[in-house]
Structure formats: C-alpha cells, structure tokens
Structure 1
C-alpha cells in the first residue's frame, strides 16, 4: 500500500480529514484539483460544477473513484482496523532483540468509545412525527411508522450512526425493491456523495464501487436513474443502457426522484470520527500497557547475582533444585591482605517505576474520554447508584456527550428531511411538507426519579399540571398525561355517581319495604279488634 510508511510517522495525522502535515505521500494544498471538474476540499468532500453534466463526463466518475481509493479509503481502512482491535502502531513495531519480552497488548478504546456513544445516541430510535393543521396527522403518522418498521429503521439508523462515529460520516441509500421504497446504510469506504461547488453545496450525484473487484465497476446514482458502469479496454460502458446513449437506461433502473437518493450523516462539519483526534493517545496507552507486561515477564526472568563467592556446580544445582543458598567467608583476608567482599545474593531486576506509569495511564485514559466527549461509564465515580446522585450532577457528567449528541442530531435531522422529501414525492401527496416533521431524539440518560418526584410534589399548587409533569423524565408527553389523568378522573366520577345512585335506590327500596310491613301489621291488628267487638 502506498501509505504504509506513513503510518509509522503519525496515525492520527494521517486519518484526520484534509491534507496531512507530512505531505511527501500527498499531493496538492488544502483544496486539491483532481482534474478540471473535480475538486476535493480540506474536509475530504468532493465538489463538482453544477453546470457540468456527469453523464457527458463519465471519465470523471472513475477519476473520483481512483482518488478516493488511493487517498481516502486507506484512512477508513485504518479507522476500521482500530475499531476492530487491529492497532497498527503496537502490532507493527519492530521485534525486540535478544529474545526480550515483547508483549503487544491492544487496549481497544476506539470500540469502547464508539459503542458507548452510539448506544447513548441510538439506544432509543428517533421518533418522527408529522404535525400540521391541514392533514389527518394520526393517519399519516401511522403510515410513516409502518413504512419505517417495514425498513427496520431502528437497526438501519443505528448502523448509520455507528459508521459515522467510526469514519466521520456515513450514508443512507434509498432504492426501489419490488415497487417498494427501501433504505439501507452504506459505508464511506465504497460510497461517495459529490456536491456542487456552490456556496450551498447541494448533492449532485453519488457513486458506489467495488474496490476489490478485478474489473473496475461502479454505480452512478443520480435523481433520475442508477447507471451501472464498467471500464473495458479503456472504454466506459453503461451495462444497463438500452442504447448507446448513457442517459437512456432500462426502466428498472429509472426512479425519477426529486433529489439524489443518497443522504450523508456527518459526525461534524470536518467529518472527524469519534476517536480520530485521540489516536496518538491510544497508541501510547497500548505501548505503556505492553511495557508493563514486559516488566512483569522480566521479573520472572530476573538474573540471580552472587558476589564475594564462587559457586561450585553442586551449589548451583542446589539453588535451582532445592532453592537453598548458604554462603559464608572462611578466611579473613585475601592474598592482597584486603578484607574480602562478604558474600551477597540478590536478583538483578529493573526498577519498574510502577506508580508513575499508573498515574500516566489514568491521566491518558481520562484524556481520551475528555477529548472524544464520551462519558467513561467504568469510572469509579459511576459505581454509586444513579438514585444517590443528584439530577444536576448526572446532567453535568453527561453534558459533554449531550452537546456532541445534539450536534449530531441536527445533522441527522437534515438528512432525514431529505429522505422524507423523497418519500413524500414517492407517495404522490403534494400537500405533505417536510417542514411539518418533528424529530425527537431521546438519549439514554439515567435519572434520579426520587428527586424528580420530590420536585413535582413541591410544585403542587404552584404551576399547572402540564408544567409540573414536564419535570418528570419518565413522561414523554406531559399534555397527554394530563389528558389521560382527567379522563381517568371523569371515569372514576361516573363510577362514583353510579354507585351513589345504586346506594340511594337500595335505601329507598329498603324504606319502602318497612312501610309496607308496618301497614300490613296495622291492618291485621285492626281486623283482630273488629272481630273481638263482634
């Protein structure tokens, strides 16, 4: 690989977007002109003139692919290797001489950072609702949710977001399958979105290619159709064309979308992955941990040093087998009338300076989490229960990750509006507007529910019910909760009225029965008196 020697200088400098500081393997300045049409900026974004027709310049497609494969894809391969646990710096270092201990420990912090943040960001999938005064929102929202469920959107969106964490960006691709509109996440390792060179940078077209194929193949994705391209004998052929005109393709490849059906989710404007700017720290942590493992191995291989006494072969054997050393001086002077060196036995071991190493490791690991803006859930301070931590303290600990998630949510909302522009056009309903869509991102933050319940109790009689319930994190929609509470109170009131009416009716009947018995008794007594008179 052309960039193999570059990794030994600085992995971090290499994987960051834009031109590295060491440029001997790189060409160009901050903005690189691939050819007369194609430009790539310092954020590794391809730009193309809005006035140029890509179908009339198919050679530009392969120029973009060649540049991407030579200079951009190697960055993504290195990032993926580090995420999976193949850390180039520690694994590829030179072997230690003289059979010295040579541990190569990989502390896979990149995977921990990505999985922690993606679980926080995508643990609860984004809720998409349409709210307007002109449509039946309930019916439309049911239709939207059904389409999302058909596409397993929770899994697709989670993978989409995770790839953005690793590579700095990822893509969502919309396509037809048996007449249905479907979506899938695409890796930037083999997918490219090209923007126009205006100040707005509107998406013009997308490219997907097979980097490992023997024959150079590509798919050109435009709003009108997908074009399957193959380079054969120096000539570019559109394999799914009905004629020699590349703008005419088979009906199955035509989709006539209002926009390019490829949507980018950028981690940030610079397309920086979540562990890009901590790579040098991660390499150093691997190195120090490996050095500590080497020290432990060195202790087991320590040399026994015996001074002031020459050991016989039998004594050496006793030391090895019986673990016994018995040395003493039999004479007081040596041949030079000097006092001999008293016998001494000790192990020759290096000073590990363990306390300094541990302090450095703790500081370095803490810096990795600080710089990447990810909460270290294995921090000893998180050992206590969330119920014993105040809500303010919890929010403070999660605030950096919340800020990062909020920025990413804005990027995702922008891409989702592009997706629903395409979906509403596919449904053929001109009254639907993406501006009426709302996106609710509910991150997985622990809450002190006891504290929240206490706040609600203190607010009784101070504010209205909707405001009061908004302080409880377990309630998504306070207004609906209040409405349900009122409905429940009305239902209980109706049941209470029915029970009261039944009770009064029973009492009335009971009183009526007593009166009848009394009248009957009085009548019988009167008849008896009349009989006695006769």
Structure 2
C-alpha cells in the first residue's frame, strides 16, 4: 500500500481519502457497511441509538478498515518521528558506484518535541472551585490521585501522541478497586462517535494482530468485551462462568462516560508534521545531494589527453578514477601521438549557493507552516533580556495560538476523565463545571522590562492591575492579599520590637536614687524611699 502512495507521502499521511487513490476531492464520508461510516477526518461514525452489542460484526468491519487503511499512516508517521524517513531510504541506488548518501534531517522529531515541551513542559494545573464543598481538601485529594497515576508524564505522552498522529487516547480502568488511567496508541485504538450533530463517543475498540487474525476488545461504558471469530461465529473470550453471553465481573465497570478518551490535535486530526512532510522529504534529498557533491570533489577523476597509458598504469590508480582521451591511430609502442598532451583532474561544477538557499527557505517554511518556533534561529540565540517583551510574544504568537486551540480540546477531554472520577468517588456535590484548567506554556520573558512597567504604574492603577503586567505572578489578586498580610505582619513585628525597646529603656534607664515600682515606673525621693504607688515617702 505504501508503494502505491509513494508518489506523495503527504497525500498519504493526511487524514481522509488520499487524492492519489480517489483522484477526486469533496467526499466527506465513506460508507464501510450498513451501519458504519468514516468521515474525511478519519473519524468512525455509528447510528445514534443503535446498540453495538447487537451488531458485533460491525466491530470487525471497523477494525479491518483501520488496520488496512489508517494504521499504515500511523506506522509511517511513527517511523518519520523516530528518524526513518520513507522517501530518502527508498530512493533508487545511484549507478556506477557514484556517491549515494542517505542523510536524514529529523525535523519531525524536533517539531514534536519543541511544541510538546512548550505545551506540556509545565503540567496542567487542575483546581476545583465552588461554594458548596471544601475545595482545599478536595484539591488535595485530586492532586494525590493525579500523582498516584503519574499524571504529569501521562498527560505529556498523551499530548505527544496527538502531535505525532493527530490524536491520542487516554484509557481509564479499574485496578484492585482503584481508578487508574494510561495512554493508548492510535495505531491499535479507536473511538467511534454517534452520527448526531454532537458526535458523542459511543464505544471504543482496542485490537491486536495475531496468527488467528485481528482480535478486538469492545469497550463500552459498562464493560469490556473480548471478541474472537470462531467457526464463522463471534464469541466472547472473557465470558462469565455463569453466563456465556455476559462478560466476567472483572471486566465490568459501569462508568458514566466512555473510559476511552480522545485528545485531537485539531478538528482534522492533523499531526504537527503531516502538512510539511513533502518539504521534509525535499530537505533530506537536497542535503544528501550536498553530501554526494562533497564526496565527488574528494573523488575527482584524472583526465589524460593525447597519450594512451597501459592497463598496468591504470590499475595503479586507486578506484580507477581516470579518463584516458587517446586518439586512435597513434603509435602505442613508441608512445607517440599528435596533438597537445595534458593531464588534469575533472571536478563537477558546484551549485552550493543554490542548495544552501533552498535549504534555508525550506527549513524556514517547515517552521512557519507547522506554527512551531525555530529555537535554533540565530536571532533566537539572543538573551531574552535583550529582546523586548513585544518582540518575544510576536515570535511565539503562532505557537501560542496553536497551543490555545489544543488546550481547549484537552480541557474538554479532561472533563470526561473527571466525570468518571467524581462518579467513582460517589460525591453528588462534585461537578466538572467547577473545575479550572491552567496551562502554563514556557515562554521566556523580559523580566527587567516588566519590572520597569510595574514601577511606572505605581499610583496610576490599583495593585492587582499593576501586578498583572508581571509574568511571574499567576494570580495578581492573591499576590496583593499576600502582600497586605506580609505588611500587617511586619507592622506587628515592628510594634512588638518598639514596645520591647521602650520597656528595656525604662528598665535600664533608672537613675541612681530612683526606685522602680511594681509596674516598672521610676520614682524619686529625697531620702531615696518611695511607696508602692511611686510617691516619695517623707
């Protein structure tokens, strides 16, 4: 199948039916069977209200199509990310032992790692805020659950898979009575949506390929069903001991949402490097040609004109890189001929400037189209302190816009996960609508410039507005409250220290002939005696 689409890998990798196969555009949906449809974004649709458990043959239809037409795309995307670029590796071999370098510039991996590091380098912060619950205790429980599931690493891998494949999957499951979640690969995982305008997820499938064929597991809100075809019939391999038509208790869960949750990179399920793969193939080809040119210069051919040399002499020249232009009719025995005799090395003409200009332009276009900042750009090497804040934001703006779009889709997916969690906890007061998700992208800031702005705003605006211009402060209002608390505490400490100083002065400053009463007050008398009220006694 890959050979069929080798004319243009980009047409093959993009979601939907390749033009190379259909030779036409505009088909938004393809009917796979009576019930199953796949749209132009490689999303499977199923009739709303139809029970898949009563039509298990549709599961095998979906799996067969996915394994034949979608999984090969994902396999190629995975290979490109790892550094096995299809086009340059499968190029025809150069004839006549010419230099044949196959240089691979792994831009797909750099694009994915740069954007994923920017998007999920700092884990998403999840908080519950409401008036009806103890949010502090609840947020501690949420954080403990996330830590138990290594959420930071799992969410980062989930996001990276969406960057590579255009979609990634999170799978929630029960393990010894605890709710867990992990990442599943789109290469063997499918979520099927209903055909309504809402496109709600109705069931999922995970499958494996064995010598017995494709073995799918149907995942619903209520249970997992391990299926297998045997003697032309579909049977449950995880059937209950009591009922062969029902699954065992270990595979039942009763979740309020489908436990297989998709994170889409965008609505079209386009990976980061899908629409620049033709540029990446061209960059590999040109870079390899440059390597071939360099080798050709090192292996220049020697040209001898006007004189014929013997076979023994030719064998003495390494690799036979020699061209003998000898005119027939000359006398070989006495080594005489006519015409001018010469010997010189033949080297190819250099087109290095053309190649360099193309590479620079192509690499720049790769970053522009993919909306990823080129951190190796010479201007990006400047210190953030020497670049204005506006200039930094302008450079990161395309990647920021892409990250915001992806953050919205991740928030939607995380609400499905927490719907399952809150139902598992059994607390009816918890609502996913009270959750807030804070995505902190790693953007360098000119802190000196921001500090100057904050200083200039003194007396011009309120403290919360002023501090909002400083990128290091997440919540300006809380920062103002903490600052006020700190000032109150410092005032109390200053007052306490002042009172202690005054008391010490009073105690240590009693002059000779004075006495101190029970309250620390000093009094004087001519005879040096005072009463208990500090009055002199005569």
1:135 Cα deviation after fit: 1.2
CA distance in 2, matches of 1:523, 1:487: 53
For these two proteins, the number of residue pairs brought into alignment is: 504
Instruction: State TM-score, norm by structure 1.
Output: 0.90
Q: 2:463 aligns with which of 462, 465, 468?
A: 465
Trace 1:108-147 onto structure 2 (pairs within 5 A): 108-147=106-145
Provide the C-alpha distance between the structure 2 equivalents of 1:191 and 1:398, rounded to a whole number of angstroms: 33
Tell me, yes or no, if structure 1 residue 226 matches structure 2 residue 245. Answer: no
- Distance across 1 between alignment mates of 2:398 and 2:211: 43
Q: 350, 353, 365: which one pairs with 2:351?
A: 353
Q: 1:11 aligns with which of 1, 9, 12?
A: 9
Q: Distance in 2 between matches of 1:227 and 1:384?
A: 57
Match of 1:300 in 2: 298
Whole-angstrom CA distance in 1 between matches of 2:106 and 2:11: 19
Aligned to 2:454: 456
Secondary structure in 1 matching 2:5: helix
Which residue in the other structure is 2:387 paired with? Answer: 389
What is the aligned partner in structure 2 of residue 180 from structure 1?
178
What's the offset of the Cα at 1:230? Answer: 1.6
Given that 2:154 and 2:182 are in contact with CA atoms closer than 8 Å, whether structure 1 keeps it comes out as yes
**Could you give the per-residue CA deviations for residues 218-261 of structure 1, whole angstroms, max 9, x where no partner exists?**
11110111111122222211122227967622111111111111
Matches within 5 A, 1:481-500: 481-500=479-498
Gaps of 5+ in 1: 321-339, 525-534
Asked if 1:104 corresponds to 2:102, the answer is yes
Aligned CA distance change for structure 1 residues 318 and 179 (closer, same or farther; 3 Å): closer
User: Larger helix proportion, structure 1 or 2?
Assistant: 1
Matched, 1:278 2:305: no
TM-score, normalization: structure 2?
0.89
Assess if the C-alpha contact under 8 Å between 1:69 and 1:211 holds in 2: no
Is the CA contact 1:6–1:14 (under 8 Å) kept in the aligned structure 2?
no
Structure 1 pair 306–261 and aligned structure 2 pair: CA distance change class (3 A)? same
- The answer (yes or no) to whether the contact 2:225–2:236 under 8 Å persists in 1 is yes
Partner of 1:62: 60
Of residues 37, 40, 55, the one that matches 1:39 is 37
**1:410-464, Cα deviation, whole Å (9 max, x unpaired):** 0100000111111111111111111111110000111111111111111111111
Question: Structure 1 residues 421 and 316, CA, compared in 2 at 3 Å: closer, same or farther?
Answer: closer
**Are 1:248 and 2:266 counterparts?**
no
Partner of 2:202: 204
8 Å CA contact retained: 1:130, 1:438:
yes
> Which residue is equivalent to 1:195?
193
CA offset at residue 142 of structure 1? 0.8
- Rate the CA distance shift 1:223–1:246 in 2: closer, same or farther, 3 A: farther
Q: Deviations over 1:455-510 (max 9, x none)?
A: 11111111111111111111222222222221221111111111111111122223
Matches within 5 A, 1:507-522: 507-516=505-514
Aligned to 1:446: 444
Deviation at 1:382, TM superposition (A): 1.0
Q: Deviation at 1:370? A: 0.5
Aligned-residue Cα RMSD (Å) equals: 2.5
> In the alignment, what sits opposite 1:235?
233
1:171 to 158, 169, 174: 169
Is contact 2:263-2:413 (8 Å) kept? yes
Q: Is the CA contact 2:240–2:249 (under 8 Å) kept in the aligned structure 1?
A: no
